[in-house]
């Protein structure tokens, strides 16, 4: 209903047989340059060619159509599905029926597009166009040909524009009443890459077998190399089995990562999507090179190794949620991550939320990495309500402070002064400051609450006469750094930090 033919030419032979309340039309049909639209344009064809034998039967209860022929050329649109059909014949054999209420059933759909796609399937749609069932008996797919021809628009609508693929995929599935009942996948020499660099995988081979309520033989899925946001993952294999309706690891899987390894201690996936938790895993990181990590992410050259664990990471309600916490060993101390959630990881604007706690971080190696100017001692702190959008901070409440005293270099003094928009008070002046390379301090503290692109800043405590104390000295030569700017544009603060950590050394006058 609501279909409109705008263009095209037809030829062929037709036989009509009417008997009481039923009509039968059969014959051979050829169509060139068909342009047709239905359902407000959500279903459309443009420049379509088809030829073949057809048999149409209609009565008060049902309309049936059998077509055995081929499609050739043109474009098809159905919702977010868009296809550019090949210029040569693509055989099509379809049997469909539509009842009086408008429900559509395709009992047979055979389609062959050379080596790109070979499909045998059946499906049913409600009168409102909702998918009630889909059975794919087999779909043999050449990814290099099929993706640009049949999947590019659908992938773009799901945040994956420009996805490139090679290799062979063989898929069978059974989907009924909103739930997947069976899935079988065979992959041969598959390479996939996101042109935006968000992920890639090479040499993917193996199989997945799952059927609701059944116990099937274990399968293996492995790859030669992979990456997520430029973090390289080495060769690995996953051994999977059905476990009470879930696909789960039969044993922990070790994945090489940046000179160390990531151990998937457990992993389970709900193919049917009937549970709130779609997948869950537990990860442990051992001996990951901070130098390689910082290089891959474009950070300053950290030294040492990283270790830590994510005991329980789950995908719930469209986002990855960290149950418990992640603990990492860095710079001689610990960074604990809690309340972490991640949404739209491979979307246009990934969103990350978390709370962080820093304990016992050694300042000497930390400040040397960032070329900030040497500070000795240990650092504690908290970052609450951290929210990143497209990996850029948009909100947080951070407070950092030293534990015990230490020494601070002349350059670090000037950089902290610049960050806080303040100056020296109650101690030696610039002329005397140049005589000393380091100074003893009792406490260092700085805070920032970011909201609406403005950082509200603070320090150890309010300073006499206004502002806030950033550094309190300890003995001679005594220094006291006071910050005067309590509200700073985030872009301005970032510029100050960048200047402080890129070798732009201040001049003491």
- How far does CA 307 lie from the centroid of its chain? 23
Q: List Cα–Cα distances, 108 to 52, 93, 114, 339, in angstroms.
A: 16, 7, 19, 49
Are the C-beta atoms of residues 469 and 447 closer than 8 Å to each other?
no
- Residue 451, H or E segment: strand 438-451
C-alpha 129/C-alpha 14 separation (Å) is: 30
CB atoms within 10 A of CB 471: 30
21, 25, 31, 34: CA torsion to nearest 10: 10
C-alpha 369/C-alpha 353 separation (Å) is: 26
CB atoms within 10 A of CB 341: 16
Q: Residue 294: what pLDDT?
A: 81
pTM assigned to the model: 0.78
C-alpha 248/C-alpha 324 separation (Å) is: 21
Higher confidence at residue 187 or residue 153?
187
Q: What is the 3-state composition of the chain as percent helix, strand, coil, each rounded to the nearest 5?
A: 10, 60, 25
Q: Residue 427: what pLDDT?
A: 47
Would you place residue 473 in the very low, low, confident or very high pLDDT band (cuts 50, 70, 90)?
A: confident
Q: Residue 320: what pLDDT?
A: 85
- For the chain, the C-alpha Rg in angstroms (whole number) is 32
Q: Residue 508: what pLDDT?
A: 34
- Evaluate the omega torsion of the peptide bond into residue 477 and state whether it is cis, within 30 degrees of 0: yes
C-alpha 288/C-alpha 332 separation (Å) is: 15
Q: Residue 206: what pLDDT?
A: 97
Instruction: Find, among 458, 462, 459, 455, the residue nearest to 488 by Cα.
Output: 455
Q: Residue 430: what pLDDT?
A: 55
From 90-104, 151-165, 353-367, 445-459, the region with the lowest mean pLDDT: 151-165
Q: Kindly state the average pLDDT of the residues 345-370.
A: 88
Residue for token digits 């920032």?
448
Backbone angles phi, psi at 295, to 5 degrees: -65, -40
Q: Kindly state the average pLDDT of the residues 446-459.
A: 94
Q: Kindly state the average pLDDT of the residues 449-453.
A: 94
Higher confidence at residue 465 or residue 44?
44
Q: Residue 308: what pLDDT?
A: 80
Sign for the pseudo-dihedral over CA of 370, 371, 373, 378: positive
Would you place residue 20 in the very low, low, confident or very high pLDDT band (cuts 50, 70, 90)?
A: confident
Instruction: Find, among 334, 336, 325, 455, the residue nearest to 396 by Cα.
Output: 455
C-alpha 443/C-alpha 117 separation (Å) is: 68
Tens digit of pLDDT for each residue in 266-287?
999 888 776 667 889 999 999 8
Backbone angles phi, psi at 331, to 5 degrees: 50, 45
Q: Which residues contact 402 (CB under 8 A, 6 or more apart)?
A: 363, 377, 378, 379, 380, 441, 443, 444, 445
The yes-or-no verdict on residue 465 having pLDDT over 50 is yes
Are the C-beta atoms of residues 207 and 240 closer than 8 Å to each other?
no
Tens digit of pLDDT for each residue in 405-414?
999 998 888 8
Q: Kindly state the average pLDDT of the residues 150-155.
A: 90
178, 183, 189, 190: CA torsion to nearest 10: 10
Q: Residue 207: what pLDDT?
A: 95
Q: What is the DSSP letter of 463?
A: P
- Residue 337, H or E segment: strand 333-343
The yes-or-no verdict on residue 31 having pLDDT over 80 is yes
Q: Kindly state the average pLDDT of the residues 304-317.
A: 82
Q: Kindly state the average pLDDT of the residues 347-375.
A: 88
Q: What tokens appear for 233 in the block?
A: 């993952």
Q: List Cα–Cα distances, 93 to 50, 53, 107, 109, 182, in angstroms.
A: 12, 10, 11, 6, 25
Q: Tell me what percent of the residues of the chain surpass a pLDDT of 70.
A: 93
Are the C-beta atoms of residues 12 and 27 closer than 8 Å to each other?
yes
Would you place residue 189 in the very low, low, confident or very high pLDDT band (cuts 50, 70, 90)?
A: very high
The yes-or-no verdict on residue 505 having pLDDT over 80 is no
Q: Kindly state the average pLDDT of the residues 450-479.
A: 88
The yes-or-no verdict on residue 259 having pLDDT over 80 is yes
3-class SS of residue 394: strand
Q: Residue 346: what pLDDT?
A: 73
C-alpha 471/C-alpha 427 separation (Å) is: 12
Tens digit of pLDDT for each residue in 79-133?
778 899 999 999 999 999 989 888 889 999 999 999 999 999 999 988 887 889 9
The yes-or-no verdict on residue 506 having pLDDT over 50 is no
Range among 292-296, 325-329, 363-367, 377-381 with highest mean pLDDT value: 377-381
Q: Residue 73: what pLDDT?
A: 93
3-class SS of residue 373: coil
Q: Residue 8: what pLDDT?
A: 85
From 5-19, 164-178, 418-432, the region with the lowest mean pLDDT: 418-432
Q: Residue 509: what pLDDT?
A: 28
The yes-or-no verdict on residue 39 having pLDDT over 60 is no
């Amino acid at each position: 209903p609501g279909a409109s033919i705008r263009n095209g030419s037809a030829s062929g032979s037709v036989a009509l047989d009417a008997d009481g309340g039923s009509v039968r039309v059969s014959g051979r049909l050829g169509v060139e340059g068909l342009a047709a639209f239905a359902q407000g344009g959500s279903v459309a064809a443009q420049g379509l060619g088809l030829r073949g034998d057809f048999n149409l039967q209609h009565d008060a209860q049902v309309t049936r159509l059998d077509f055995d022929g081929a499609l050739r050329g043109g474009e098809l649109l159905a919702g977010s599905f868009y296809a550019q059909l090949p210029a040569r014949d693509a055989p099509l054999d379809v049997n469909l029926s539509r009842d009086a209420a408008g429900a559509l059933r395709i009992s047979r759909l055979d389609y062959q597009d050379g080596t790109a796609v070979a499909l045998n399937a059946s499906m049913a749609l409600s009168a409102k166009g909702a998918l009630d069932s889909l059975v794919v008996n087999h779909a043999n797919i050449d990814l290099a040909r099929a993706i640009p021809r049949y999947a590019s628009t659908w992938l773009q609508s799901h945040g994956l524009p420009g996805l490139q693929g090679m290799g062979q995929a063989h898929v069978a599935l059974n989907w009924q009443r909103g739930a997947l009942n069976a899935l079988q996948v065979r992959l041969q020499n598959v390479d996939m890459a996101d042109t935006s660099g968000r992920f890639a995988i090479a040499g993917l081979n193996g199989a997945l077998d799952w059927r609701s309520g059944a116990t099937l033989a274990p399968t293996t899925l492995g790859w030669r190399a992979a990456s997520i946001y430029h973090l390289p993952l080495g060769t690995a294999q996953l051994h999977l089995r059905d476990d009470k309706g879930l696909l789960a690891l039969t044993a922990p899987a070790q994945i090489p990562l940046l000179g160390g390894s990531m151990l998937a201690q457990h992993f389970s996936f709900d193919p049917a999507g009937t549970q709130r938790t779609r997948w869950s895993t537990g990860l442990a990181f051992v001996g990951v090179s901070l130098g390689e990590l910082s290089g891959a992410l474009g950070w300053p050259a950290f030294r040492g190794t990283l270790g830590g664990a994510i005991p329980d990471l789950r995908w719930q309600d469209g986002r990855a949620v960290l149950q418990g916490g992640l603990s990492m060993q860095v710079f001689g101390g610990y960074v604990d991550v809690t309340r972490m959630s991640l949404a739209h990881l491979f979307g246009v604007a990934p969103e990350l939320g978390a709370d962080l706690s820093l304990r016992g971080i050694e300042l000497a190696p930390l400040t040397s990495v960032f070329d900030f100017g040497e500070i000795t001692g240990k650092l504690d702190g908290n970052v609450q309500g951290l929210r990143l959008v497209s990996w850029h901070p948009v909100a947080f409440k951070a407070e950092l402070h030293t534990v015990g005293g230490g020494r601070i270099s002349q350059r670090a003094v000037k950089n902290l002064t610049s960050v806080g928009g303040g100056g020296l008070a109650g101690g030696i002046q610039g002329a005397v400051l140049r005589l000393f390379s380091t100074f003893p301090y009792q406490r260092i503290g700085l805070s920032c609450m970011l909201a609406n692109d403005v950082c509200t800043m603070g320090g150890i405590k309010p300073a006499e006469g206004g502002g806030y104390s950033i550094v309190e000295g300890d003995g001679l030569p005594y220094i006291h750094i006071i910050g005067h700017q309590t509200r700073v544009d985030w872009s301005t603060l970032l510029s100050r930090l960048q200047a402080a950590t890129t070798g732009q050394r201040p001049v003491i006058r």
